[in-house]
Copies of this chain bind each other. A is one copy, B any other.
Amino acid sequence: MNHIPKIEVIGITGIPEITGGEPLGELIAEAARAQGTPLRTGDALVVTQKIVSKAERRLFDLNDILPSTLARNFAERTHKDPRLVELVLRESRAVVRMDSERGIIISETRQGFVCANAGIDASNVPGDDIVCLLPEDSDRSARNIRAEIRRCTDGAEVAVVISDTFGRAWRDGHANIAIGVAGMNPVKDYRGTPDVNGVILKVTTIAAADELAAAAELVTAKAIQVPVAIIRGYEFERMEDAAIDPLIREPSKDLFR
């Protein structure tokens, strides 16, 4: 009989409400242990952006913002909060599409991601005028979580992916993708591999970190308190100096900016 490839996706429950300044890696390792699925070397952890941003105190009070004229003009046409529009613009380094009919802003964030509203989110955040920004540097966030987990377990060497829920071109429905990574190559490279007929596969690099993020969403789901998932049994390529950059297409090579 062949080896049966199999992975498990396990949600981590019991992580306390994050309010700012918490050692996330420790809390994750402790919650995993408490529920009987302690972290092990070889696990890939997918941590949703919201708790990372909250732990890093990336909350922003809209009352602190004075909207620019562009923000006010756009907000007026689209019935949006001009302060939020201004914050989206401030968190962007380029606007990709600004559709004043449907009130959509797709931009390149300061971190380099192309998404709606610069990844700013008002759900699961305390207070009416408080919104949540993306982590300043999600690779650093992932590295910190990874190092903490190594310290507060028996040295478990895990991969960490920070995930967020983005829309896509051409497809309806959102999907989780990776915005930060530590300990694994985010790309799986099949180029040069022979196929079953011995033909060399020309294309394909697979966005492994994005697929891990998507798989994790199947258990983390919105609006429930499962902000982290363990993916167990997936053989990622270990990489100490990993970064999310290889998954971000260079603007000059992108036909859709």
Interface residues of A (CB under 8 A from B): 1-11, 13-14, 17, 34-37, 97, 99, 102, 104, 106, 113-114, 122-126, 165, 168-177, 186-188, 190, 193-197, 199, 201-208, 210-212, 214-215, 217-219, 221-223, 225-226, 231, 234, 246-249, 253-257
Beyond A11-B5, A13-B4, A254-B169, whether A222 also contacts B201 by CB under 8 A is yes
Q: Which residue of B122, B207, B226, B247 is within 8 Å of A5 (Cβ)?
A: B226
Q: Which residues on the B side are within 8 Å of A126 (C-beta)?
A: 197
A64-B59 Cα distance, complex, nearest whole Å? 61
Q: Which residues on the B side are within 8 Å of A204 (C-beta)?
A: 165, 174, 222
Shortest beta-carbon distance from A212 to chain B in Å: 7
Shortest beta-carbon distance from A28 to chain B in Å: 14
Contact indicator B247/A172 (Cβ below 8 Å): yes
A240-B35 Cα distance, complex, nearest whole Å? 36
Contacts A2-B13, A194-B223 known; 9 new A-B pairs at CB < 8 A = A5-B219, A97-B256, A113-B170, A170-B256, A171-B249, A173-B206, A174-B206, A190-B221, A206-B221
Contact indicator B214/A211 (Cβ below 8 Å): yes
Beyond A215-B9, A219-B7, whether A196 also contacts B225 by CB under 8 A is yes
A169-B173 Cα distance, complex, nearest whole Å? 15
In terms of DSSP, what is the predominant structure of the interface of chain A? loop
Contact indicator B211/A176 (Cβ below 8 Å): yes
Contact indicator B248/A195 (Cβ below 8 Å): no
Contact indicator A6/B4 (Cβ below 8 Å): no
Contact indicator A6/B8 (Cβ below 8 Å): yes
Contact indicator A248/B14 (Cβ below 8 Å): no
Contact indicator A170/B212 (Cβ below 8 Å): no
Contact indicator A123/B249 (Cβ below 8 Å): no
Shortest beta-carbon distance from A38 to chain B in Å: 13
Q: Which residue of B4, B6, B222, B226 is within 8 Å of A206 (Cβ)?
A: B222
Contact indicator A169/B124 (Cβ below 8 Å): no
